[in-house]
A and B are shown apart, each in its own frame.
Chain A
Amino acid sequence: MCRRRGERDNPAMPSTTDLSASHSARRPLAERVEQALTRVIDPEVGLDVVSLGLVYGIVVAGNLVQVELTMTTPACPLAEQIVREAEAAVRSVDGVGAVSVLLVWNPPWTPARMRPEARRALGWST
């Protein structure tokens, strides 16, 4: 079965941030992968790729994980490094087998993709 982050199969599942570490193993794999990706920091901005809206999708099939990641521009030389760090972060999650991180450019990133916490940190009103 493939699950894409954001298409939660159990609407009653509490959000990632509500869960304590002791319950983390029971969270869906896609959520734990997303949590791991918050450790991947854009060094220029000091914020993580999830908050910046650079993670376009997390697909889980058994213990196989595929992450779709973008950059704010194709002119960015950090892409290769961020992909490498994302692979390492995902691989560190319990229960993950093979990892594939794909760099995608469509649709292009826009500031509207940033999460509210990142927008607030960078001076947006919402």
Chain B
Amino acid sequence: MTAAELGLRRGVLLVVAAAALTAVLGGLVRAAIALPVAPGPHQVALHGPLFVVGVFGTVIALERAVALAARWAYLAPVAGAVAVGLLLAGWSSPAAAAALLSALALVAINVAIVRRQLASFTLLMLAGALLLAAANALWWRGAGVPTVAPAWMAFFVLTIVAERIELSRLAPTPRWASRLVLALGLAVATAAAFSLVSPSPATRLLGAGFLALALWELRFDLARRTVHMPGLPRYSAAGILAGAGWLAVGGWLLALGELPPAGPRYDAALHAVLVGFVLSMVFAHAPIILPAVAQIRLPFHPVLWWPLAILHGGLAVRLAGDLVGSGAWRRAGSLANALALVAFLLAASWARRTGGGRQPRRQPG
């Protein structure tokens, strides 16, 4: 890796951080929390795309580009970063075009990975990238966020579950369970594709698929075993298993009935999946991914448990507020979710400063 390549990766992550900050502030404004410094109205309106396309989508694109180790693959994260810049400038349509380009490059990366290794998990990652491209294309053509949100969620769920299926090969998994998760993943991909043209039945089926995948993870994920190991593997596994719990909640909320384009159930379902499942996964993997992708050292320290706990506790309060109709609870939960990100930055700085806590090493056997 050249210095220029490392600089590019870190630059992309810096743009992602700017997107996250703006998205969080926009989310707080939406939750009717008064802020001394608030983003503009168009940035508040783009809270969802900033997080989905700008933060999570660009990070996944960067991870895959690093994995493939081909220069052209950086088109995916760089186009994602360009989309962030355009979103922050308030140019939604060009931003959506850049996001589409990023998704198409991610499709090409996944095709290259499938050609290297044809497996259930590489195919599901490719299916997820295709969904992202389809959703971004519709968004570019003017579709609203509620129309494309189910397919966006499916992209993240399929990508993350595929990674978990791959890792779970390290533990004994019954053959029927391996076949089942592939069938569930393909069903989720199909339902998500249909949700872009006919939301009503497809989104309910998508929710049922999310719920089933979450239950699969809770039963068969490697995290069930690594949660008993000390240090980073336990922390990471806890984030994954808690995230799977929220995926089950989000799936259940989506399966309950037709998803309204706004309101408490929409808010609860989207945040259960995107905060509970996806952001928890980001917290859980940051100490693993940051050194690998950007050579940013983040040694595990027990203090990292705090932001994870605040994230999940805050989300529980927020969803409780959604479900019982309490604006105060929803605001408190939203604030706690934002504080979880601040706490994560503080905890990460502490871990870097102290060089991590004691790192007991697992001895096989």
Contacts and interface: CB of A to CB of B under 8 A. Distances in A.
A43 B121 contact: no
A101 to B, nearest CB: 14
Given A74-B117, A105-B116, A81 B169 contact: no
Interface in A32-89: 41, 43-48, 51-52, 72-81
B166 A73 contact: yes
- The DSSP consensus for interface residues of chain B is helix
Contacts of B361: 41, 46
B113 A75 contact: yes
A108 to B, nearest CB: 6
B166 to A, nearest CB: 5
B226 A45 contact: yes
Interface stretch (A5-13, A19-27, A91-99, A111-119): A111-119
Given A77-B63, A80-B69, A122 B288 contact: no
Given A77-B289, A81-B292, A122-B225, A43 B232 contact: yes
- From B117, B225, B364, name the one whose CB has the most chain A CB atoms within 10 angstroms: B364
A92 to B, nearest CB: 17
Nearest to A51: B364
A121 interface: yes
Interface in B261-279: none
Nearest to B117: A74
Interface string B53-72: 00000000001101111000
Nearest to A73: B166
A64 B121 CA distance: 37
Contacts of A72: 166-167, 169-170
Contacts of A114: 170
Given A47-B364, A80-B66, A81-B291, A73 B222 contact: no
Given A45-B226, A105-B116, A122 B170 contact: yes
Nearest to B110: A75
- The range of chain A's interface size is 20 to 34
B67 A74 contact: yes
A72 B117 CA distance: 10
A45 B170 contact: yes
B59 to A, nearest CB: 10
A123 interface: yes
Contact of A44 (B116, B125, B162, B288): B288
A43 B300 CA distance: 10
Contact of B125 (A75, A120, A124): A75
Contacts of A105: 116-117
Contacts of A51: 364
B92 interface: no
B364 A117 contact: yes
B22 interface: no
A85 B209 CA distance: 39
Contact of B233 (A44, A76, A123): A44
B171 interface: yes
Contact of B292 (A45, A77, A118, A120): A77
Given A45-B170, A46-B362, A115-B364, 20 more contacts: A43-B233, A43-B287, A43-B288, A45-B222, A72-B166, A73-B119, A75-B122, A77-B64, A77-B66, A77-B289, A105-B116, A110-B169, A114-B170, A117-B365, A120-B365, A121-B364, A121-B365, A122-B170, A123-B225, A124-B171
24 contacts: A43-B232, A43-B233, A43-B287, A44-B236, A46-B231, A46-B362, A48-B364, A73-B166, A74-B116, A75-B67, A76-B67, A77-B64, A77-B67, A79-B69, A80-B1, A105-B117, A108-B117, A115-B364, A117-B364, A117-B365, A121-B362, A122-B172, A122-B225, A124-B172
Interface of A: 41, 43-48, 51-52, 72-81, 105, 108, 110-111, 114-118, 120-125
